[in-house]
Structure 1
Amino acid sequence: MPRLTGVGAVERPKTLSRSAYLGIQQAIRDGAIIQGTLYSENELAETLGMSRTPVREALIALAREGLVEIESQRGFRLRQLSDAQRWEVFDLRLLLEPYVARKLAECATEDGVRRLTELVDGQEELSGADLQSAFLALDEEFHLLMPQLVGLERSHDILVSLRGAMWLMGFEALSLPQRHSAVIAEHRAIVAAIAAHDPDAAAGAAHEHIVKTAAAVS
């Protein structure tokens, strides 16, 4: 059978449930949806400007991912992670992220180092009411960029799967005095070791950063 040529892929428009999913996900990451509050599905649908059905579908997907808990006929709330669940997330990060930093230090390019540095610079330049949500967005981009730069697709996918739990804990960590400046310093130490092509130092800096982040939310 001859191959088709000159036919481009069709970009599928986002479904309403996908749009709702992304909107709720963003609200969780940004801290607009907070721990300890029961939210109405109907009010959320009104806020998003859509019917309840796609919002319900989005919440079911987020519940499967462990981000929310749905209470029948009442609404939904953010999932409260147990201490064991929190430590599992950080244990997985401690296994994976020093490995990623080590591999990246072995082959980092100037462009890769520049991109990481720009993200940390962006964190340092933040100020104002949206500081925490913007800071967390850049933090996520920083940590997910490293496996991308070295082509570690499975590592990247695993880290993506852990980000939801980090959103549930992120604002707790950043509420501590001086944690913003500490995170920036820790990120710069990781980048410096990668730029110096020092795998041991890069792995050590990544390990120290995750240990300190875990201590901030314990």
Structure 2
Amino acid sequence: MPTKNLHANASSFSSDAKPVAPRARRRASAQAGARAELPDLTASVSFDSHEPIGKQIFRALREAIFAGQMVPGTPLSEKEVSDMFQVSRQPVREAFIKLVEAGVLQVLPQRGTFVKRISPRQVREGRFIREAIETAVVRKAAVSITDEQLQALADNLRDQKLAAKSNDTAAFLALDEAFHYAIAQAIDCTAAWETIQDIKAQMDRVRYLSLPDVSPLDLLIKQHAKILAGLRAHDPSAAEEAMRSHLREILMSLGPIAERNPAWFDADEPERVPLST
């Protein structure tokens, strides 16, 4: 599998996304809820693509929210977005519905549609579900993964190191997505990855906020290397444990990130049965 396929098949965090610097993010946090101009996302949509325009708009808005280009409280209107992309309101409405389902937009009656704050509880729930799926995937992959697929993952890991060296968090996140997607590809079960896209939406927002201050890129790369080592050894238990440890990293960063960015987060609602252990 060529390395470029790992980039092409990742469904989130385009390397073209413009990351928000930590200081700028903190300023934006303090201003959450204030009226702000929407970022120009027209470059994210191609009318020559075979992909439905509504799906492209959905992804463009979702990535902008993940990257902090639209802070919690940012208002969105179908007219404003349809004017930006020069399309009818129907594909925009479809994108809004999917973003509400993903938990990143909320509709307030008589007030409008706004970027939603992050729910710590939903972050933990998403991580719990993602762990259940991806540990099962990586166990199977450890048995059946080919040398060619292992090489593609190794190439991806090399590119992660280059992105970290240049402090390119957007590129790193795109490679991170591609790394996990490729493991699902290794067992011919990309539906597993597609299933968790909306489930992990809140996780992805926290991940972006945590880089590189709380979750250093070098640490995440070492965790990916352990996953790859388990796959290379064709050791399902080692691969599973490495994946589990990697996905639990967010539990360590969630508290500090919420404290640093209070305007981004809802008040926490602990689960009756803790999902963090």
Structure 2 CA distance for aligned equivalents of residues 101 and 210 of structure 1: 12
Q: In the alignment, what sits opposite 1:8? A: none
1:1-218 → structure 2 map (5 Å cutoff): 13-72=50-109, 74-126=111-163, 131-177=168-214, 179-218=216-255
Contact 1:41–1:75 (CA under 8 A) maintained in structure 2: no
Structure 1 CA distance for aligned equivalents of residues 170 and 201 of structure 2: 14
Change (3 A) 1:162 1:144: farther
Contact 2:181–2:190 (CA under 8 A) maintained in structure 1: no
Shift of 1:45: 3.5
Structure 2 CA distance for aligned equivalents of residues 34 and 157 of structure 1: 25
Contact 2:127–2:200 (CA under 8 A) maintained in structure 1: no
Unaligned runs of 5+ in 2: 1-47, 256-277
Using the size of structure 2 for normalisation, the TM-score is 0.64
Change (3 A) 1:14 1:103: closer
| 2:107 match: secondary structure | strand
> Following TM superposition, where does structure 1 have runs of at least 4 consecutive aligned residues deviating by more than 6 angstroms?
none
Higher mean C-alpha deviation, range 42-51 or range 20-29:
42-51
What amino acid is the match of 2:210?
A
Shift of 1:190: 0.5
Structure 1 CA distance for aligned equivalents of residues 101 and 183 of structure 2: 27
Which has more helix, going by share of residues? 1
Change (3 A) 1:94 1:127: closer
Higher mean C-alpha deviation, range 139-148 or range 21-30:
21-30
Tell me how many residue pairs correspond in the alignment. 208
RMSD: 2.9
What amino acid is the match of 2:114?
R
Structure 2 CA distance for aligned equivalents of residues 50 and 129 of structure 1: 37
Structure 2 CA distance for aligned equivalents of residues 161 and 188 of structure 1: 26
Identical residues among aligned pairs (%): 27
Shift of 1:12: 8.7
Change (3 A) 1:212 1:22: closer
Unaligned runs of 5+ in 1: 1-10
What's the CA shift string for 1:15-44, capped at 9, x where partnerless?
443332232133234332233433454443
Contact 1:40–1:76 (CA under 8 A) maintained in structure 2: yes
What's the CA shift string for 1:152-172, capped at 9, x where partnerless?
355333333424233322212
Contact 2:73–2:114 (CA under 8 A) maintained in structure 1: yes
Using the size of structure 1 for normalisation, the TM-score is 0.80
